[in-house]
Structure 1
């Protein structure tokens, strides 16, 4: 849930992140007062996620570890008998050991430090085990890092006490997730004076569970649950954040894909830089001399979720054992028969993948090609894959031919009209296209854009060769020197797609 008033709050489902913008407020370090075992404390809590809709909850300090104070919700603790209290205490010892010896050292070594000693002047983190509503594992609110009203004025996050008592492994996962938010608050909000996009902040927290080793073994892991949900309902916006389970499924899988393709540094370095969201990823790619940009990666990821086969190209699948079986089912499965004309109308949100599969009837493409014309109210890129292993970005108009053996193809339109300022309910954009059958012939082969192809604007003679995200102008004399470049096979692009390729200065 996103609230805009004096603070920006972003609530995260299974592990909730509540972000606050207080760039004009100085962070005041308060005198250090170490907590003592058995200390009772009233904490400001989030009523939306508290089981009893409380705004304050009393808790008792049950355990002090080398890195954290572990408080337990009095309303829960007092309802346990002595055996129950002893059992919960043992589980808290286990949780504290995992935090001190696994979560804290691994995450700080990789992501960097949390605010330390922070606003309270105490190097220990406060972890409150609270009674939360069903389906919520924890939350973090950056307001607590500022000396303002309604702040606990501590380095603090909250986790489900029920999870500790019923599934300690889930509780450890929740701590790994929430701790990254505390680190991110320090690295971005405090040190860089910027606030990270929610989707990318959550992506790092989901990856933190893998980072500390809690997604191994894969069977029964959080990642397996995320993957199962994703394959059931894959068409959800990556960047919009209404705070539902699908949001986590999307970002968990996309995060694993990013790390497999570009290494964990893509998440680490973007956290430490001054940029946020998509811009930070593009900046990383530029600094490492990658040709791809975020839009390319997202499209390749969408193709990977459909074919998941790295035999021809690593970018079109997952390498992790547990993720090798992921294959999404297209949203539609349409048979193209009898060379009819077809029209399709859809609406997609920014960065919402959608897969539309078309099956080719036997003999339908004898001496024929398919012509696809796209009509959009926003900037879309149309990714393509077929059973012959051909992939790419389609031009407008696009042709699909059958060199022999074509039985089906999928088109994946991606709404790339928005790159920042995402919310909980972003606006969809209309997308439609028509399919017609035309005579096969010169210039009507597959119109999939890839490196080495010649492109031009309609009714213009100047031709450019594609090189990653760039287009390089070639004069006719240069084109003639390369036997593989045939001007007759050049592809005409509309202005939006043509301009999406930056002009190369070489």
Structure 2
């Protein structure tokens, strides 16, 4: 797409020599307008691990020598602690220099504010993953490991807290740039906690615990604070459970999420796997503050327990839903024996739409910082005109993730964009940062299947390759890109995704409209004052029955935890239960 004929060199250059007083222009993102400017910055301090640059734009005060020395020493300590806990950034990195550049920008540069309203700038700082790419690949790259910081916070604890968080992101990019959002942001919140800045992680963790029916393996484009909190709480639990050394192995493992824990457990002869950790964590959310709870259910001081729904009348019937990789909590009051009858759905819709025809569709589902491709070669040499027809559904982060349709006439060496009437690219929010690789693309939510027709007549008489490609940034994915009923009638090609018709799928799968629904039902009772967690056995039809006592003789009130965990889908799971005496 960028016109490159070969891969850019990954060999770092000879590092440049920097001295205090030098000036350079840095490309900096205004997070309000999604535009990039390149103001000049002055290098004012060099510590063991960082260069400190300051914006010449009004809006920040010039730091004193003592402030520079203190902050430089504090970041060097953050560097040592973060690398000990999470691994190393790519060093010497793209610029061949082991030091990191900390670019302190004016609020007027990174936000749409004035000198009088600079305190309203909501940005604290960011690590831009584009800066570690060659500028030939991403023109916005500064080609160095760096942070952009809101310079008005310089010298404060908030400033250091943000650096601890953002440096964790830089380290993450060296190992696995497309981890789940709960790993990426949750481990960065854990970095704040471990490095002595626990107040924000705990506050956000308690936001999550106030409403724990929140899908772990998703992110949102609205209020993200509870999702940061959820990611922090599970990373804190994993850190406690594995210990520092094995948590570092988890943080540097190329596998994602619970699969990484599976690998670590197998390599170290541990008697649990990733799913065990997830279920134990769900139980810990309910009982971690109980001083008699077993050690595996401990978290940390300051965190609340998960909010629950109280039930004190019997019989009681509940008919509701729960998010995937989340749980509903019920505390049971009363006396005497009670019988639970649970029924969970057997299947859940994979995305918001079903296949247009038949049982299958092509789907590029959910993966951060990825490129998923579906490619097919077609012989148009015998026709004078041709048309590509297909149904498309897209649920894509608007303006930041994009799906493209392209064509090649040279065996895949170069690709040209194709344009459909249903594509985006003309609206102001379709590509605010000018990040898309073509002028027209799919982004945002289509809401339902839409019919697309693309004229291929300009390529008639040739052998061509046609490609759908879905490209995502480092965080936030939705349902993805789905295709069905692809056809080029002029050459007799028709694909309803029910069989293999010659597509080369890289990240796309032929998917059905539903996925099997997985359930876990846990019962917490008390014996000799201590909580006991019991996994109920479910039949093949996702039903379970249990009898237990509500009496408080053991020291606490029973609790029922109902958890759903079907991979990839963002659709909630339906269940029912009845409690009778």
- Give the structure-1-normalised TM-score: 0.67
Give 1:341 shift: 5.4
Q: In structure 2, what is the equivalent of residue 249 of structure 1?
A: 229
Note the 1:108-123 alignment, pairs <5 A: 108-123=83-98
Give 1:155 shift: 0.9
**Per-residue CA distance 1:142-172 (angstroms, 9 max, x = gap):** 221121322110011222223226xx11111
Change (3 A) 1:143 1:63: same
Give 1:393 shift: 1.8
**Per-residue CA distance 1:381-412 (angstroms, 9 max, x = gap):** 22222355332222332213228547843322
Q: In structure 2, what is the equivalent of residue 174 of structure 1?
A: 162
Q: In structure 2, what is the equivalent of residue 201 of structure 1?
A: 184
Distance 1:352 1:242 in 2: 15
Change (3 A) 1:307 1:24: farther
Distance 1:246 1:239 in 2: 13
Give 1:375 shift: 3.1
Instruction: Please say if residues 165 and 189 of structure 2, whose CA atoms lie closer than 8 Å, have aligned partners that are also in contact.
Output: yes
Give 1:310 shift: 5.1
CA RMSD of aligned residues (A): 2.9
Instruction: Please say if residues 203 and 252 of structure 1, whose CA atoms lie closer than 8 Å, have aligned partners that are also in contact.
Output: yes
Name the SS of the counterpart of 1:355 in structure 2. strand
Note the 1:126-205 alignment, pairs <5 A: 126-130=101-105, 131=107, 132=110, 134-147=121-134, 148=137, 149-164=139-154, 168-188=156-176, 195-205=178-188
Unaligned runs of 5+ in 2: 112-120, 348-516, 538-542
- The answer to whether the aligner puts 1:374 opposite 2:355 as a matched pair is no
Of residues 331, 349, 354, the one that matches 1:357 is: 331
Instruction: Please say if residues 226 and 253 of structure 1, whose CA atoms lie closer than 8 Å, have aligned partners that are also in contact.
Output: no
Instruction: Please say if residues 53 and 101 of structure 2, whose CA atoms lie closer than 8 Å, have aligned partners that are also in contact.
Output: yes
- The answer to whether the aligner puts 1:409 opposite 2:409 as a matched pair is no
Q: In structure 2, what is the equivalent of residue 18 of structure 1?
A: none
Aligned residues: 380
Distance 2:140 2:343 in 1: 55
Give 1:296 shift: 1.8
Note the 1:463-474 alignment, pairs <5 A: none
Q: In structure 1, what is the equivalent of residue 54 of structure 2?
A: 72
Give 1:281 shift: 1.3
Of residues 311, 326, 329, the one that matches 2:307 is: 329
Change (3 A) 1:137 1:282: farther
Change (3 A) 1:39 1:52: farther
- The answer to whether the aligner puts 1:91 opposite 2:81 as a matched pair is no
Query: Relative contact order (C-alpha < 8 Å, sep 6+): which is higher?
Result: 2
Give 1:65 shift: 1.8
Name the SS of the counterpart of 2:43 in structure 1. strand
Of residues 297, 322, 328, the one that matches 1:316 is: 297
Q: In structure 2, what is the equivalent of residue 455 of structure 1?
A: none
Change (3 A) 1:436 1:375: farther
**Per-residue CA distance 1:364-393 (angstroms, 9 max, x = gap):** x3xx63333333532122222235533222
Q: In structure 2, what is the equivalent of residue 390 of structure 1?
A: 532
Distance 1:270 1:74 in 2: 41
Give 1:435 shift: 0.6
